[in-house]
Structure 1
Amino acid sequence: MATGLSHHDAPPRPAAPPFEARHRHRSPRGRGLILALIVLAGLVLLAIAWIGLRGFLAQQELNAAVPDVRAVRAAVAESDTAGAASAATELQKHAHAAVSLTSDPVWQLAEGIPWVGGNLSAVSTISRATDAVASDVIKPLVSIAGSVDPRTLHLTGGTLDLAPIVAAQPVMAKAQTAFDSARSDIGSIDRSSVISPIGSAVTKMRSLMAEVAPDLQAVDNTVRLLPGMLGADGPRSYLIVAQNPAELRATGGLIGSVVLVNADKGAVALSTEVAGTSIGPWPTPVFDVPTATSGLYGPLVGRYLQDVNFTPDFPLAARTASAMWVRTHGGVVDGVITVDPVVLSAMLKATGPVTLPSGDVLTSANAVPLLLSGIYARYPDAPQKQDAFFSKAASAVFDRVVGGVDGAALVKALAASGTSNRIQIWSSHASEQSILETTTLAGALPVSTPETAALGVYFNDATGSKMDYYLRTSVAAGAAVCRADGKVTTMLEVTLTNGAPANAATALPAYVTGAGSYGVPPGDIKTRIAFYGPEQGLLAGVKSKGVDVPSIAGTDNGRPVAVVEVQLAPGQSKTIDVQFLGTAQWAPGYTVDVTPTLKGDGTTPDVGARPSVARIAVPCSSVVK
C-alpha cells in the first residue's frame, strides 16, 4: 500500500521564475567576467582579422617589389639612370608599405604567440630586409651608378678620372654593409618553422638577393680597387705577362713576353716590353719557393721565368715573376696581370681591328691562329722574332685601349676573360690582394668547404715545344658517399687527345714539334697533369682503364696531389682516373678548377666559358673501403 500523498493530493509546486528572474541575483563580478570574455573573444577575432588583412596586403606589396628590383637591374644594365631611379622609387614605396603593415603594436604582440608568431616574424623580417635593400642599397647606388658602372669607365687620352670613383667609396661601403645585413637577416629565417606560402617567399627573397649579390660585389670591388691600383695615392707599376697556351703551364701558358705598365693619378702608360727569355735564368731560386712545390714541379720554378707558373698557385707564381723582374730591371712591382691571345681576341671585339708594325691586321677572328700557329710558320727558326711579334701585338692592343674605346664592350670582354680564368691579377699590396682573393681573378688554389670538395686539374707541357695548339682536353668529375664511415669519395677523369696531323713530324716547324730536343719524338705531345684533391683529403688511386698508373704523389698547402705524365702520338687518346677520399666533407658536393686550354682544332675558345667539366657517376664498387 502506498504511503504519503498522491500526485493529485500533493500541494502545487511554485511556478518557475522567468530567465531574467533566475539570473537577477548573480553577483556583479560574475556578470563582469562573462562580459569581459565576450569582449576578449571579439578583440581576438578582430585582431585575427586585422593581422590577416594586413598580412595579405603586405604580401601584395612584397610581390609588387620583386619586379621593381628586376626593373632596376635592367635599367642599370642599359645605362638608363632615369629608368633605374623611377623603378627604385617604386620599389621603395612598396617596401615602406610592407614594413608599415607588419610593424604595428598588434602585429608585434602577435609575434610572441607560439607557432603563429614565427610566421608573422618571418613576414616582418622579409619586409624590413626588402625596405633596407630599397632604401639603403638600391636608392643610393642608383644615384652614383653613372660614375661607378664599370661599363661607363673608359680611358680618355690614357687617363681615367678617379675623382667620381673616390667620391663613391663611402656610399658604396654603406650600401654593401646594408645589403650584407639584410641578406643575413633573410638567411636566418628557419624555413622549416613557417607555413608553405611564407617559406616560398623566403626562398624567393633569398634567390633574388643571390641574383643581385654578384653585381653589387663587382661594383664594390671596382670602387675599392681602381683608385689605389691606378695611382690615386702614388705611382704604381705592373707587369702584364703574356701567357702562351700553345705551350701549357698550370695557370694558362708559358710566359712569352712581359710588359711593364705605369699608372699615376689615373694616367696609364706602357713603359717597357721585353721577351720572357731575356729575364734569367738563375743558378739558384730568386724567391723562396716552398719545398712541396719544388717536389711536385721541380727546381726550375724559382729559376726560370717561363716556369714560375708550373704551379697553379698564381699568387706564388706572380710573386716569383715580380722578384725576377726586380732582380733584372730594378724598381718596384706593385702587381702582376696575365693575358693570352684568347683575351686579346676578346678585346679586339671592343677595339676593332688593329694594324701591327709588320703590316698585319690583327682581328678577333685571326688573333689566336696567327699568334699561336701562323707566326711559327713565318719565323720557324727565329724565336726572338716570334716573341717580338707577340709583344708588338699586345702593345698595339694596349695602345688602342688606353686611347679610348667603348667601355661597355671592353668590360664585357675583360669580365668574360676573368670568368674563364684567362685573366688573373695579383697585387703586392695586402689590402688589395685580400679583395682580389674573393674574386675569380685571384688564381689561388681552390678552397674546400664541409659541403664541397674543391678539386683541380692543371696541365703543364713536357714536350718543350708549341704542340699544345693541337691538344684536346676533356675533364669530368663526380662525388659519392660509398663508405660506411660517411666519408666522401671524389673522382677526376681526364682524357687527352693529340689532334695534330698524322705527318706532324715533317709538316710542322721544328720549333713547334720540339724536334726531339727533350726526348719526345716530333709530332708527339707529352703532358704532365696535376690532379688536386680536397684540403685534408687523401689520394686513393691513379688508374687508366682500371690499371694503376705511375704518378708523383705529394701535397700542396694541405691538398693531396698526383702528377701524371701522358705522351701521345698524333691521333692517340688516353684517359686517366684519379680518386680522392675527403676527410672533412659530409656532403658530395664538388667544384673543379681547370687550366684554360685551346680547343685543339685551331679555332678560338669561347672566352666567356669556364673550362667544361662533365659529370660522371662514381662506381662505389671500385672505391677504397
Structure 2
Amino acid sequence: MSRHASAAHSQQTRTKRKWPWIVLAVVAVVLALAIWLGVLAMQVFRESKQVQQHEQKAMSLVTSFTHADNMSSIAKLSDQLPQVQQETQAAEQIAHGSSWNTLAHVPWIGGDIQAVQGMTSTLNSLMSQSVPDLVHAVTTLSDAHLANNGNQINLQPILEAQPAIEKANTSFQEQVQQYNELPTPHIEKIRSVYDEGHEKINTIGTTVNRLASTFKILPDMLGADGPQTYAIVAMTQSEMRSSAGLVGSVGQLNTDNGTIKIDDFRPNVQLGPYHAAQHTDDEWRIFNTESPLHMSLDVRDIGAFPDTKRVAESVADFWHNDWHDQNTKLDGVIVVDPVFLQMIINVTGPITLHDGTVLNGSNTAEFLLNKAYINYPLDQTDELFSQVAEQSIDQMFGTIDMAKLMQVGNVLGQAASERHFSMYSFNADVEKTIKAAGFTASTPDSEQNPTVGVYFNEQNPSKIGWYLDRSSKITSKQCNADGSQSYHVEYTIHNTLTEDELAPLPAYVAGVTRSWKNRGQGLELTAIYPPKGGSISDLTITGGNHTDIKQEKMNGKQLYTSVISVMPGETATISFDVQTSPQAKSQLKIDQTPLNKPGSGTDVDISSCKTK
C-alpha cells in the first residue's frame, strides 16, 4: 500500500469514528432541548390553571354587568372593579412570564400560548380602562335630574355625557374586536376560560353599544335643537311585509327640548282614499305586476319596501298630499311593531285597555298579532293597536330617571337591531347620526359589516303570520386568500297551524281565498339579498312549494325572489352559500323581516373562521 493510500485510509477511519460522537452529541442536545421544553411546558400547564382561576374569578365578578342597562349592576361593578382588576392583572402577568414567552415561539403550542396572552391582555385592558371610563360616565349621569314637569326630559345632562359615553364605548368595542380576533385555544382548560370570556364581553359589548347609540340619537329625536314632528307608523307582521307588516295605523310624535306629546293614532281605514305611494318601476314590477297578490302599494303596503328610507319617503308623500298639506312640518318617520310595544311595556309596566284587558311584557305581542283578530270585531282591531301604541310610547318617557332611561335605551337598541323599531330623519345631518347608530333599517349596505337580507311579503290576505315560525343558521366555511369569508346559510319557515287550530279561525285570519283547501296557507313573496360587495350561490328551496327562483334588480341592488307556499304543518328551507366582500371586518349576520318575538332566531357557528 502506498503512503498516500495509507494516509487516506487512516483519515477515513478517523472520520468514521467521529460520526457516532457527532450523532450522540446532536441527540443529546435534542433531548436536552426536549427536556427543557418539557419542563417549561409543565410549568406553563401548572400556571395555566392559575390563569384559569384568576380569569374565572374576574368573570364571576362582572356577571352582573352583563345587564349593563341596570343601574344596580353598574353600582355593583363599580364597587367590585378593584378586585376584578387585581384578578385580570395577575392573569396577564402570569401569561407573559419567561416560560410563556419562550413557548409562544414553539410550533403548534405557540398559537395557544399567544391566544392566552392576547386574552389576558385584552381582558385586563377592558377592566383597567374601558369599563372604568364607562362606569364613571354613567354614574355621573345618574346623579343628574332628568325628569322635568310632566312628559319632559332634561336633555342637558345627556348632551354633556354624550362625549364621555361615546369615547368609552369606542374603546370598549375595539377591545371586544381584538378579543374576537384571537385564535381559539386548543388546550381545554384555557379554551373554557376563553369561551366564557368571549360570551360575557360580547354580551356586555352589545348592551353598551346599544346604550351609547341611544344616547347619541335621543337629543335630536327629542327636540334638543328645536321642535320635531315624527309620524309613527304601526305595522303588524301577522300580515308580513318586508319592513315588518301591513300598516295598521299612523300616529304623531311631537317633541321640543325634551317635551313629548303623542297625538291620536289614526287607523288605516281613515288614511284613504287609497292610492299607490310614489314608487320606482322596479318596486311596481316586483310587488305588483309579478306578485300573486298584485299589491297596490297604498299606505297599507308601504312596508313592502325593505328600506326604512323608502317607507319614510312614502309616508311623507301621503302626509303632505293626503293627510295634511305641503306646509305641515314632518321631520322624520318612526316604524314600530307589536313586539317593540311589548318590549317597552316590559320596562314601563302593564297597560289597561278601555275594556279592562291588561297587557304586559309577555302577552302584548300575541294579543296584537293574533288574539285581537279572533276575539274582537274586525272594525275594532286597529283601534286596539292605537290604544296600546299611545299608552306604551307615552309611558316610555314619562317620569324618567337614569335607571329607566338605560332600560329604554337597551330596548331601543335591541329592537332596532331586530327591525322591531326603525326611524329615518329628513334632516341629512341628523339622519347621518341615526344611521351610524344603527337605527335606520336597510337592505345590505356595508362591506365591512356584512349581512344577507331575507324579507317576506304575505300574498294570502290573512293574519297567518303569527303561525309562521322562522329560524336560521349561519355556518362559516373558510377564510379566503383575498380576505373575503365563505358561509353556508339555512333559513327555515314552518307553518305551526294544526287542523284543530285552523278549523275555528275566521276567514280574516285564516285567509280570504277562492278555495277552502288553501285556508291557513302562508304564501310568501320572498326576497333574498347578498351582502354588499359579496355574492350568493347554490340557492335552493326545499319543502313546501315554490316558484322558480328569479334573479332581479331593485333600485340598483341585486336580489333573488321566489313565492314560497307553506300549508299548515309544512316547512320550507332556503339554503345558500355566501361570500362576503374582502373588506369584511365582522361576521355575517341576517337582516330580516322581524320575528313575532324578541330575538333573531339565528344559530351561529363561526368556529372555523375568524375575522381579520
Same fold (TM over 0.5): yes
2:49 and 2:378 map into 1 onto residues whose CA distance is: 73
Shift of 1:398: 3.1
1:73 and 1:153 map into 2 onto residues whose CA distance is: 28
Shift of 1:296: 2.1
Shift of 1:139: 2.1
Question: Cα–Cα, structure 1 residues 361 and 139, in superposed 2: closer, same or farther, change >3 Å?
Answer: same
- Is 1:257 the equivalent of 2:249? yes
1:473 and 1:167 map into 2 onto residues whose CA distance is: 44
- Which residue identity does 2:168 align to in structure 1? A
Kept in 2, the 8 Å contact 1:281–1:303? The answer is no
1:97 and 1:488 map into 2 onto residues whose CA distance is: 39
Kept in 2, the 8 Å contact 1:460–1:529? The answer is yes
1:297 alignment partner in structure 2: 287
Kept in 2, the 8 Å contact 1:155–1:402? The answer is no
Question: Cα–Cα, structure 1 residues 78 and 69, in superposed 2: closer, same or farther, change >3 Å?
Answer: farther
1:481 and 1:93 map into 2 onto residues whose CA distance is: 39
- Which residue identity does 2:392 align to in structure 1? V
1:6 alignment partner in structure 2: none
Question: Cα–Cα, structure 1 residues 290 and 166, in superposed 2: closer, same or farther, change >3 Å?
Answer: same
Kept in 1, the 8 Å contact 2:464–2:521? The answer is yes
1:537 alignment partner in structure 2: 535
Shift of 1:433: 4.3
Equivalent residue for 2:164, pick from 149, 162, 171: 171
Question: Cα–Cα, structure 1 residues 582 and 401, in superposed 2: closer, same or farther, change >3 Å?
Answer: closer
Shift of 1:256: 0.6
Question: Cα–Cα, structure 1 residues 195 and 310, in superposed 2: closer, same or farther, change >3 Å?
Answer: closer
How far does the alpha carbon of each residue in 1:162-203 deviate from its partner, in whole angstroms, 9 at most, with x for none? Answer: 2222121222233234335555666787889x9999999988
1:502 and 1:60 map into 2 onto residues whose CA distance is: 57
**Residue correspondence of structure 1 range 612-623 to structure 2 within 5 A:** none
2:29 alignment partner in structure 1: none
- Which residue identity does 1:468 align to in structure 2? I
More deviation in 89-98 or 209-218?
89-98
Equivalent residue for 2:309, pick from 307, 310, 315: 315
2:561 alignment partner in structure 1: 562
Equivalent residue for 1:210, pick from 202, 207, 210: 202
Question: Cα–Cα, structure 1 residues 147 and 280, in superposed 2: closer, same or farther, change >3 Å?
Answer: farther
1:590 and 1:123 map into 2 onto residues whose CA distance is: 26
1:206 and 1:524 map into 2 onto residues whose CA distance is: 43
Kept in 2, the 8 Å contact 1:99–1:128? The answer is yes
How far does the alpha carbon of each residue in 1:330-361 deviate from its partner, in whole angstroms, 9 at most, with x for none? Answer: 534333333333433444344444333x4333
Q: 3-state DSSP class of the match of 2:442?
A: coil
Shift of 1:159: 1.6
2:213 and 2:159 map into 1 onto residues whose CA distance is: 12
How far does the alpha carbon of each residue in 1:487-526 deviate from its partner, in whole angstroms, 9 at most, with x for none? Answer: 866554434355475885xx5555546655x888884535
Q: 3-state DSSP class of the match of 1:395?
A: helix
Shift of 1:310: 1.4
1:245 alignment partner in structure 2: 237
2:3 alignment partner in structure 1: none
Shift of 1:240: 1.9
Kept in 2, the 8 Å contact 1:68–1:88? The answer is no
How far does the alpha carbon of each residue in 1:432-454 deviate from its partner, in whole angstroms, 9 at most, with x for none? Answer: 5455556675432246879x984
1:284 and 1:179 map into 2 onto residues whose CA distance is: 46
Equivalent residue for 1:224, pick from 190, 207, 216: 216
Shift of 1:214: 1.7
Kept in 1, the 8 Å contact 2:222–2:258? The answer is yes
Question: Cα–Cα, structure 1 residues 243 and 500, in superposed 2: closer, same or farther, change >3 Å?
Answer: farther
Kept in 1, the 8 Å contact 2:243–2:304? The answer is yes
1:503 and 1:578 map into 2 onto residues whose CA distance is: 25
Shift of 1:386: 3.5
Equivalent residue for 2:598, pick from 594, 598, 608: 608
Kept in 2, the 8 Å contact 1:341–1:371? The answer is yes
Q: 3-state DSSP class of the match of 1:242?
A: strand
Question: Cα–Cα, structure 1 residues 490 and 291, in superposed 2: closer, same or farther, change >3 Å?
Answer: farther
1:37 alignment partner in structure 2: none
1:361 alignment partner in structure 2: 357
2:193 and 2:595 map into 1 onto residues whose CA distance is: 43
Aligned residues: 534
1:399 alignment partner in structure 2: 394
Shift of 1:259: 0.9
Kept in 2, the 8 Å contact 1:148–1:168? The answer is yes
Shift of 1:158: 0.8
2:569 and 2:103 map into 1 onto residues whose CA distance is: 67
More deviation in 221-230 or 572-581?
572-581
Question: Cα–Cα, structure 1 residues 294 and 527, in superposed 2: closer, same or farther, change >3 Å?
Answer: same
Kept in 1, the 8 Å contact 2:233–2:251? The answer is yes
How far does the alpha carbon of each residue in 1:126-183 deviate from its partner, in whole angstroms, 9 at most, with x for none? Answer: 7775564344422232222235579x97786212222222121222233234335555
1:181 and 1:245 map into 2 onto residues whose CA distance is: 36
Question: Cα–Cα, structure 1 residues 156 and 136, in superposed 2: closer, same or farther, change >3 Å?
Answer: farther
1:275 alignment partner in structure 2: 267
Equivalent residue for 2:335, pick from 323, 327, 338: 338
2:92 and 2:575 map into 1 onto residues whose CA distance is: 53
TM-score when scaled to structure 2? 0.68
Larger Rg: 1
More deviation in 263-272 or 429-438?
429-438
How much identity, in percent, do the aligned residues show?
22
- Which residue identity does 2:249 align to in structure 1? S
- Which residue identity does 1:241 align to in structure 2? V
TM-score when scaled to structure 1? 0.67
Higher-RCO chain (CA-CA 8 Å, sequence separation at least 6) = 2
2:20 alignment partner in structure 1: none
Shift of 1:610: 2.7
How far does the alpha carbon of each residue in 1:510-551 deviate from its partner, in whole angstroms, 9 at most, with x for none? Answer: 5546655x8888845352231415345356565555987445
How far does the alpha carbon of each residue in 1:555-591 deviate from its partner, in whole angstroms, 9 at most, with x for none? Answer: 45544312215274xxx4444454545465899x864
- Is 1:138 the equivalent of 2:128? no
1:162 alignment partner in structure 2: 155
Shift of 1:243: 1.3
1:306 alignment partner in structure 2: 300
Question: Cα–Cα, structure 1 residues 335 and 500, in superposed 2: closer, same or farther, change >3 Å?
Answer: farther
1:381 and 1:213 map into 2 onto residues whose CA distance is: 44
